[in-house]
Amino acid sequence: MPTTLFPAEAAPAPSPSTPPVLRRLLADLRIALPVSLLAGLVITLANGYPELLYEQLVYSLCIGVIAFGMVDLARLLIWPHPNRRVLQWLAFLVFMLAASLIGHFIGIHVGALVLGHTVPTLADYPSIGRISMVLFTFLGMCTMIVLVEQRERVARIGREHQEARLRAEVVERQAVQAQLRLLQAQIEPHMLFNTLANLQGLIALDPERASLMLDQLIQYLRATLGATRADSTTLEQEFAAMQAYLGLMGVRMGARLAYRFDLPPELRKARLPPLLLQPLVENAIVHGLEPKIEGGEILVEARARDGLLDIAVRDSGLGLNEDAAPARSGGGVGVATTRERLQALYGERASVLLAPAQPQGTIVRLTLPLENP
């Protein structure tokens, strides 16, 4: 019956340069080996001569490898598609029958040469014993082809599942990106509308401050325009954008607003989603510092911890108490939007914590995976 020339574990792996048909043929021969040996064992037990087991295994192996090699090569070259029509199956079966006869004849000769036996002639073939062995070889070919095509079917289904999973991942990533774009689109107009509304009020009351605010707005837009259209930015660029934003807010609040930044040099190139901090900083101003008569300070700092990036936005405003604005007590739109963005990107690996700051004010702490370039 068909088989590989060596046991499966000893068969040399085809090199990547091996032609695809030959590579598949060598892989299929690994199935032929055990089936051929099993056939030789069955024949030995049926004949009742266990002392001839070795000789029968040699003959069975030679016949199986040669016959299956012919059948499988024809299958790969002529009938490669598994969904064959009736006429194609009939032609394939006829070829298998002919290959069984030829393979048996050649295999007997090769086995006889290996064992030193007398080589039979073609005139010896027309006998019941020889014909039954040819039919047995044909059944072996059918068994091997079924096993090979079943293995290919399982592999094909596995590839289709893998491709379907990859397509699903692509669709999921596209959906996440669309969700992030939508959430990001909610951030940009929110900040711009607030700034333009303040700018409109200043034009009539204080044209000089309105001009200064417009200059700061242009600087802020210049700092953030590229980041808003990118999938990620660096922590250094994010801090620079927040510095431009707080400079803009400083025009409006004057001496009531102070701010500091703490960014270690080793974290400057860390990657994160763009404009992640802007809604939190805006939330700190609108709900923490602006309602407070004397204003206060905002501190933005970053730290690395066990493969995670911790970013804190701390203010010395009203804090989370009964006197705070309701939106501030509940976290506000900025915290909710940031939490949704991080959830969409990182799932359970990221978190947003809103808590009272000491001695007063509020702190929003972001935790997300540390991504270095």
Low-confidence ranges of the chain (pLDDT < 70): 1-19, 124-125, 170-191, 225-230, 321-333
Task: Say yes or no: 53 and 156 in one domain.
Answer: yes
DSSP state letter for 230: S
| CATH number, domain containing residue 309 | 3.30.565.10
Task: Say yes or no: 212 and 82 in one domain.
Answer: no
From 166, 192, 224, the end of a domain falls on 166
* CA–CA distance, 175 with 183 (Å, rounded to integer): 12
* CA–CA distance, 86 with 93 (Å, rounded to integer): 11
Residue 12, domain member (yes or no): no
* CA–CA distance, 320 with 361 (Å, rounded to integer): 7
Q: E strands within the chain?
A: 233-234, 257-262, 271-272, 296-305, 308-315, 351-356, 362-369
Determine the pLDDT at residue 128.
80
Task: Say yes or no: 219 and 365 in one domain.
Answer: yes
Residue 10, domain member (yes or no): no
Determine the pLDDT at residue 117.
85
Phi, psi of 269 (to 5 degrees): -95, 5
DSSP state letter for 300: E
pLDDT tens per residue across span 4-53: 333 333 344 444 455 688 888 888 888 888 888 888 888 888 878 788 88
Task: Say yes or no: 140 and 270 in one domain.
Answer: no
Determine the pLDDT at residue 21.
81
Q: By residue range, what is the domain housing residue 38?
A: 20-166
* CA–CA distance, 240 with 222 (Å, rounded to integer): 11
Determine the pLDDT at residue 83.
77
Residue 313, domain member (yes or no): yes
Task: Say yes or no: 360 and 211 in one domain.
Answer: yes
CA dihedral over 104, 105, 106, 107, signed as positive or negative: positive
CB 193 within 8 A of CB 211: no
Task: Say yes or no: 228 and 359 in one domain.
Answer: yes
Determine the pLDDT at residue 363.
94
* CA–CA distance, 302 with 184 (Å, rounded to integer): 22
Task: Say yes or no: 146 and 224 in one domain.
Answer: no
pLDDT tens per residue across span 334-363: 788 788 888 888 888 999 999 998 888 999
* pTM for this entry: 0.49
Determine the pLDDT at residue 367.
94
Residue 290, domain member (yes or no): yes
Long-range contacts, stretch 14-23, CB < 8 angstroms, 24+ apart:
21/73, 21/76, 21/77
Determine the pLDDT at residue 8.
36
Determine the pLDDT at residue 190.
59
Task: Say yes or no: 112 and 220 in one domain.
Answer: no
Task: Say yes or no: 211 and 332 in one domain.
Answer: yes
Residue 240, domain member (yes or no): yes
Task: Say yes or no: 158 and 214 in one domain.
Answer: no
Residue 265, domain member (yes or no): yes
Task: Say yes or no: 162 and 210 in one domain.
Answer: no
Residue 52, domain member (yes or no): yes
Determine the pLDDT at residue 235.
93
